[in-house]
Amino acid sequence: MPHAHILFILHSDHKPRGPDEYDRMVSTELPDKDAHPTLFEVVKSCMLHGPCGTINPHSPCMADDVCSKGYPKAFTEHTTDTTGSYPTYHRRDDGHTFER
């Protein structure tokens, strides 16, 4: 499926400056499958990493038997700032799983 990687450079007055502002701009949770089935399928098929790990140990992201990109990411109730890196985004463990 065609897609684009787009970089937005924000004026310093508009850059997100903390977890609450990150959460207004970024979601790392899947859309509700029942409320938004089409969006759920698009996100599932185009925006998710994997499969890798023990399911697919020959995936190009694998190094020393673990995903070099750090997946799967841990569940966390709150977005937190990480010094010198990307934030750790809010990702609830709502019990929903899927298979690619």
| Rg of the chain taking only CA atoms, in angstroms | 16
**CA nearest neighbour of 64 among 53, 78, 77:** 53
State how far Cα 47 lies from the chain centre: 8
Residue 98, pLDDT score: 62
Cα separation, 51 vs 67, in Å, equals: 10
Other Cβ atoms within 10 Å of 36 Cβ, number:
13
- pLDDT over 60 (residue 100): no
Written as six digits, the tokens of 8 are 């937005």
Strands 66-67 and 62-63: antiparallel
Residue 62: strand pairing partners: 67
pTM of the model: 0.67
pLDDT tens digits, one per residue of 61-83: 999 999 999 888 888 999 998 77
